[in-house]
Amino acid sequence: MAQARFTQEGETAHVLVRNLAIGGLDYREYFKDKYCGRPFDTLEIRFDGEIFNCCPSLVPDSIGNAYGLNTADELKASPKLANSLDAILSQDFRYCRWLHCDLIMSDHLLKRAAALKTIYAPEFVMLSYDPTCNLRCPSCRTEKIVAKGAQQDQILKLTGQFVIPLLKGASYCMMNGYGDVFSSRACRRILEASNPEEFPNLKYGFITNGILFTRAQWQQFPGIHRMTRYIRISIDAARRETYDRLRLGGDWDILMENLDFISQLRRSGMIDLFDIHMVVQEDNFEEMVEFGRLGQRLGCDKVMYDPLMNWNSYPLDELKRRSVHAPDHPRHPEFLAMAKEVTRIMPSIAPMAGSHDKSLSAQQPQTVAILNFGALYRVVDVTYS
């Protein structure tokens, strides 16, 4: 049936959608002379040690496992890495999930140019291999996770042998994608080792729940004070009672105190960017506007809203009940109204303008919203300026 429909309507469907639905080679023409630099300069280590050279949700094939490698140079000899680079250089993008990639779907791939990169040299490093966290948010995990014993030893070995040497040649490091920077011994070891002399180009982006990000903690790591580009605090609520329900183990008063401290760091120019983040669900979507106002009061650069994802922490029916961003949720129209209201109180920009994008100026004159629902769930009438 899909085949018949595409045969009739094929001229109007996106060429990549049509190729995926009914086959064909038109995609070769679509990708001709196109290029993406991300697989040549990106390295992400997932919680299980698997390494990716793009976001794992966009290119799900790993290029190696960090626990099986002694040095970053061993990774450069990986046949899987060679294949993934070949997919870009031979212009078929065969490892990319075409319909999930904003660069592909919005036609923002680069034109091939003489100066394009052809060898792998990781500059943008995303670290998510230590799941240790001081909180246990129900949207993320079913119990508190703290690496111990043999697991801790393995994580620390990977940190000393593979990650720290790799960071000496990198220009950006984001941590922690699946835990908290300040509760992770591995992340703290990286922070202790960091200084502008040995890591001359490196800037950090921290994603943290903010509870341990105190003034005293910041003063413990003087090496990173001029190396911090970006701090994102995940909060998920604008009211104490909602926070207490969604961020188990957190403390609203400590969080507010720490947010004020980070706000001072941003206003003094010590850090370049300060964002707050909300995973939107039925329990908190009515606070989206208040959350935006909190970001404005703190002088944040961005207030980020993301949909609730399936991290296997909720049974499927519970996930569905909470997923107010899904078009078939009974309260979805209220969610859309709230999203529109957010764009009324502050300008919004496209989700693609992420932390890699240096054009997102550190001199941003006002707080902007990122409503990251566009690619998967169309938020009608919300336009990105």
Which stretches of the chain bind ligand SF4, using CB under 6 A? Answer: 36, 38-39, 54, 58-59, 93, 96, 101, 103-104, 133, 135-137, 140-141, 179-180, 209, 234
Between 203 and 247, name the residue whose CB sits nearer to ligand SF4.
247
Between 58 and 289, name the residue whose CB sits nearer to ligand SF4.
58
What three-state secondary structure class fits 241? Answer: helix
**Pair of tokens at residue 177:** 């994608």
Between 30 and 199, name the residue whose CB sits nearer to ligand SF4.
30
Between 35 and 384, name the residue whose CB sits nearer to ligand SF4.
35
Residue 233: Cβ within 10 Å count:
22
Q: Minimal distance in Å, beta carbon 174 to ligand SF4? A: 13
Q: Minimal distance in Å, beta carbon 119 to ligand SF4? A: 16
219: nearest Cα among 184, 265, 267:
265
Distant-in-sequence, close-in-space partners of 358: CB < 8 Å, separation ≥ 6: none
DSSP code of 30?
H
Between 49 and 179, name the residue whose CB sits nearer to ligand SF4.
179
Between 54 and 339, name the residue whose CB sits nearer to ligand SF4.
54
Between 81 and 96, name the residue whose CB sits nearer to ligand SF4.
96
Q: Minimal distance in Å, beta carbon 25 to ligand SF4? A: 19
Q: How far is CA 89 from CA 12, 15, 81, 119, 120, in A?
A: 29, 21, 12, 10, 12
- Run of H or E including 85: helix 79-89
Strand partners of residue 273:
230
Q: Minimal distance in Å, beta carbon 251 to ligand SF4? A: 13
Q: Minimal distance in Å, beta carbon 197 to ligand SF4? A: 31
**Pair of tokens at residue 314:** 């909720």
Q: Minimal distance in Å, beta carbon 59 to ligand SF4? A: 5
Q: Minimal distance in Å, beta carbon 312 to ligand SF4? A: 13
Longest dimension (CA), the chain: 66
| Relative orientation angle of helices 288-298 and 252-267, to the nearest 10 degrees | 50
**Pair of tokens at residue 43:** 């390295």
- Run of H or E including 228: strand 228-234
